[in-house]
Structure 1
């Protein structure tokens, strides 16, 4: 009888450990733009920064970190949901070192995109450079943990990619070069090919669990609504149509990658529908305002135009879907992250 109890206990422990080792994500590793930049841009000469008040006023200690929000960003909440640390620090932030980055790190740069030409607009970190920083990180992690343990962590980590909005709004629709070279459909395909190559590179470097971020309803960002005054400041439907088309192509890419790369698991983390739902029915989520942002007049300001001297900034950011004209409030980031964890990322938990 004692032997049976011992065997049963051993089996239970074995199954629990096996389940844990199978589902456990020991680190979150992030690439992308301002949606997931935690302050890398503070360390480079660019105007695409937010390391000043009132940014970060609801962050721990009321500290402006370089996150484009009044508080935490989606990857911070995803990290917390996976039982890791409540924030994912920026790789270039001198406040942190490899012992912090072992559990989570972001290489993201506000203003960047898949297209190198997008990064050039505001002199920010291009995607290829984010990958170079990741290779540097791998070396430091192996020196810190030892090669075997580091490689194990890198293969079990969740890799989060979030970018693309700037490619369209900051580059294609704003500057003449890409428009003269490609139709919007061709440009989407061009970006998809870059995303594919980037994930293949990550795979070659040991990544196996990847979350590929979809585009938000970018026609509903306050900045785009402000410019749509001829249509009563409604969402720019043409931009939303592009976002939907691009997300469909990302979905197709996910299917191809999962079939073509042995042992990989790529998922599409698509914020489009949940964010559109919040924008269309803000009161259902406890918001008062979805068309304009909290910071400054809420119509067109972001970055340096949204500073502590602006007299119009709202007192309660939780009543607003957007913090500045381009970026959601911490509350919205939390809602979107929770939705993605429950509906998509839960398979990695």
Structure 2
């Protein structure tokens, strides 16, 4: 892996690019794109959207590659935020891995990169081939485009924006202890609604807070992503990280019906995949995101039971690394922004999850 490349903090008046390297929902979700643009402009930034209409699978691959290359190569762009995740980022990886000219351009002009879910693949690629530090955080659809006010301290949008800029702009000191939301939105946003009368702020419920599945203390560099995507990426030579001494994080996607969560058997299979790949052999800790769709106490206990059964019993029981569950990351509203490859600490005795160094220069 190349030496670490840390991007500069986002300056006032800088330009942020929206790109869509997986799902292509820009045209279908114009209201969300417009609101997300307005939110960022309201924070004092300029916004550019890189998007061309697709005409088939190969057209889409070509468009996504050209948009990604254009955003990374443009010296006027300081940060890149992926609009949403999706199912198809791996279609780009053969070309991206082979593009040594792009790797050099990224290292020469490093930018802040934010995204989650299928964008796990972009994070892993950038870390492995360029050394760039990136950020696991919100997209335009739906997080930054939520129909509520960024000035409403209780709104999910406010939490997302505040913690995004804490990571990429305002914090040139160590980020320190990570925030936790008091409420969350159990239901998926209606991103395809175009009528103003049908677009509403998400209904909120109280969160049970952080849950320490296994106590302990550990320090290590953060790395992870969406669980099912992590399992898929492990077979792509050249982008798999060195997991030794890491604080690993993972979170799980939304079910195909967009109402329930990722089925528990897929969660179990995904964790088993990571175990078989050696991810936890020398782990310093594990952070698990609040899982979408697991909203009742019984469902959370079922999810926790899988983690305990695979990581706290059997051969891995002797590892003793701390495991923290129900953190605001990934497919949940609102969400934190986690900086990849930063030194982090878990300490159950102090109920603490903290980033011990600045995420940007």
TM-score (norm 2): 0.34
Greater C-alpha Rg: 1
Higher strand share: 2
TM-score (norm 1): 0.35
Higher helix share: 1
